[in-house]
Amino acid sequence: MAVYTRLGAEEMAGIIAAFDVGTLTSAKGIAEGVSNSNWLIETEQDGPDGQKRPRRFILTMFESRTEIADLPFFLDLLDHLAEHGAPVARTMHDCEGASHRLHRTPDGDKALALIEFLPGVSVSEPTPEQARAVGGALAQIHLAAANFPASRANSLALPAWQQLLADCGREGLESIHPELGRIVERELALLAARWPADLPRGVIHADLFPDNVLMLGDKVTGLIDFYFACTDLFAYDVAVTHAAWCFSSDGARFDPALSTALLEGYCAVRPLSKAEQAALPLLARGAAVRFLATRAYDWLNTPADALVTPKDPMAFARRLEFYANPENARTFVDGVSA
Ligand SMILES: Nc1ncnc2c1ncn2[C@@H]1O[C@H](COP(=O)(O)OP(=O)(O)O)[C@@H](O)[C@H]1O
Ligand SMILES: N[C@@H](CCOP(=O)(O)O)C(=O)O
């Protein structure tokens, strides 16, 4: 589940009244997601013909992993991408024109944003055609953000992986799996020595997992959860999306048909250069370490009574072992056309 902060009915009505979106008729906490609190909001608003019409939105309350100072970047990016034809939800600005508001809670002031509701569902067993569409949508946002004026450093890049994994400690990692300390040490050394700096970069999503893509059939209707978006290597975003989409969720089984379709879908919109293709296996190892790091940290630090189930770090250790095998590294980029 992901509703970390309770909001009473009157409190919720007061929040919605700050936006020109009609009167609140229902607010339901959304179980999916792990980072922020989300509610499905329904309102009724007078239409131009005087008839009441129903409207839907997502209300997000930003919790500890999102810095309030980063919100203008994330929320302006949503508006920019939507204006450039990408399947992304717009931010509803409040009656004073602000994209987010602060709300007093027992745990201190937290930021809130009201986001356009998009139709669609997140797939759990993607087909190759769905993976192709997702690859294309990822490339579309890379291109659509080209003239977005703001930038944001990736706060979950290599130094953050090193810090999170150091905070876990060797003992902590070995309590998750006896081999994990050794694997992490090997990978961090390799990534620090070989991470590429000179590949094409721009705004990336950085967390395009199936639960962050809404689909109807084979069509992508919405890319959501841009709250890790940042300026980094485009090919790293391809690697993150590859790691997220092309394996069984426990990471034990790689699906070559999904891999080929995802990469072909991406390259049909934004071809990967030879240098980007060559870097993909290493970037995919980095992507696997990035999710291993946050998951291992949460695994060891989430209180037992917390209302959220930590995700399994080993699912990304298994992906890491796949990408680290030179035989797999050679074959998984097959199907990419320059
Ligand atoms: N714009 C949207 N339109 C429709 N549903 C949405 C939208 N944004 C979020 N959701 C729903 O809310 C859930 C959680 O949102 P998400 O942004 O992924 O939260 P978190 O940041 O906690 O991961 C999603 O799985 C989806 O069901
Ligand atoms: N995609 C990450 C978790 C990030 O959580 P989200 O709920 O904000 O998408 C993972 O799978 O580890």
Atom of ligand 2 nearest to the CA of 227: 8
226 lines ligand 2 (CB under 6 A): no
Residue type, 328: N
Measured distance CA(209)–CA(186) in Å, rounded = 26
ipTM of the complex: 0.94
Q: How far, in Å, from the CA of 51 to the mean position of ligand 2?
A: 40
H/E segment holding residue 59: strand 52-61
pLDDT digits (tens, 9 = 90+) for 277-328: 999 999 999 999 999 999 999 999 987 766 677 899 999 999 999 999 999 9
291 lines ligand 2 (CB under 6 A): yes
Domain ranges of the chain: 9-116, 128-332
Entry pTM: 0.94
CATH of region 9-116, choose from 3.40.50.720, 3.40.50.2300, 3.30.200.20, 3.30.70.20 = 3.30.200.20
pLDDT digits (tens, 9 = 90+) for 83-124: 999 999 999 999 999 999 999 998 889 999 999 999 999 999
The answer to whether 238 and 138 are in contact (CB under 8 A) is yes
CATH superfamily, domain 128-332, is Aminoglycoside phosphotransferase (APH), C-terminal lobe (3.90.1200.10)
**Fold match flag (9-116 vs 128-332):** no
Of 61, 62, 1, the C-alpha closest to 31 is: 1
37 lines ligand 2 (CB under 6 A): no
Atom of ligand 2 nearest to the CA of 228: 8
- Two tokens, residue 239: 């690697």
